[in-house]
Structure 1
Amino acid sequence: MIDAIHDNDAPEILIERRDGVAILLFNRPRAANAQGFTFGGALLSALDEIERDDSVSAIVISGVGKVFCAGGKIGEIMKVDGVDMEEQLRAIRQTFRAVQRIREHDLPVICALNGAAIGGGAALALACDLVVAAEEGSYSFPFGRLGAAAADMGCAYLLPRIVGTARAKQILLTGATINAHEGRADGLFVDVVPRAEVLDTAVALARSIIAAGPRRAVAATKQILLRGESADYATCTSYELYLQCYMLSTDGHKERLKGFLDSRKA
């Protein structure tokens, strides 16, 4: 499916559901799935739709074609002779909000990195909880080469937390491109597979998360991990205490506990 070609009359974000997993596909392969004026709004709408769907417990994000996402669309978001600043701000702000939405989404979000993720595309992939990369997958951070700050859409926050401060500085200040195997060594990718297998591998990972816990329990785990990134120990453990007591009262916990006890009796 990710090698299919669709014209610009088709939805910008395709949504497919597979047994509890929602697959969101960036659907502008002829434009390298670049982030134009409507990209952020379309992605936000898709993420909201999936969060309201109780039949879905995990999300996989990928791109149609050979490029995951080429970042800001040149000729639309960026032009040599300039762009109306208000229009530009609104479009970029929507994409920023989509990146933040991925981070804060109730459901775990897995990126199936089918190819290059450039600039804002790399930021979007970094915001996902886990990334499975195709062998052709890569992150590129070319902001400085285009005369812009060498950080975008949370890269300066997210990258140091994954690869460490010194490595993040090296990557951002040099405008580096990180290939799939370098990314795995840096902790950016949890697996590297042939491109033909990247989507199915990401879906299988999503299903393993679904099998590990009920929808609400997985959401709770994701939220406490987010809190742990910036909260001190006492704040984090206090949040864990009340969240865990709530989780112990849910039907999902009671069902899983009963199943565990029944299996021990058997």
Structure 2
Amino acid sequence: MTVTQIRRPAGRRGDCGISPIFLGIVAVAAVSGWAVWDGFADRRGLAVFLFVVATWVVTLCLHEYAHARVAHHSGDITIGEKGYLTLNPLKYTHALLSIVLPVVFVIMGGIGLPGGAVFIERGRIRGRWRHSLISAAGPLVNVACAILLMLPFMLGVADKWPYDFQYALAFLAMLQITASILNLLPVPGLDGYGIVEPWLSYETRRQVEPFAQFGLLAVFGVLWIPSVNVKFFDFIDTVTEWFQVPNGYVDAGYTLFRFWNN
């Protein structure tokens, strides 16, 4: 998700090294992933929970990094100053929106929705294509992550892996698919709207702007409508079937993820 900010004077370009906080999250993902692989029978659900949450936060960071990196190379030289190139989720607009809310969405409904936002000073960027590419960069990361997570199933490699690890990967892939689809919706406040916004008239953008803050909540609300929810997840199942993810693996991963119910 990206946010437009009023132009201000350029500052320093630094603060581009990888954040220790991000490296810590990667370490949690790696250790918990090993625990899932090794099959900690007494804590298998907790291990899957930590693995999914940590990996999900890592992809959120990569999503926002993609926005920031493209914006940086498109003319917004303040990106480094804001710390967006450090992959530190605490540098986003609000820690609650960056980390807690996306995890809550996953726990409540097994849906991957976008989290934190980066402020892009659009006044520094010239060209509608550049503006569209900045908005598209984040969802493209989710698409790439979804494909990478499902490739082991498609190539038949995952068949030899522990079942719990396969379940966790299938669930993570589903989250990336939902994040890709929902983020690309042309709804104000989401990246899909950011892609088309530069091509709209000034009057249309002015009229739509007040609704941007409600776009994410509106999408989540619509997904709670039973008929919409069923059709949406039917489509998700179709996508996972394309990549030969076995039926039921996503549900098994979600069940393990919610270890407090087991």
- Fold agreement, TM-score > 0.5: no
Q: Which has the higher helix share?
A: 2
Higher relative contact order (CA 8 A, sep 6+): 2
Output the TM-score relative to the length of structure 2. Answer: 0.30
Q: Which has the higher strand share?
A: 1
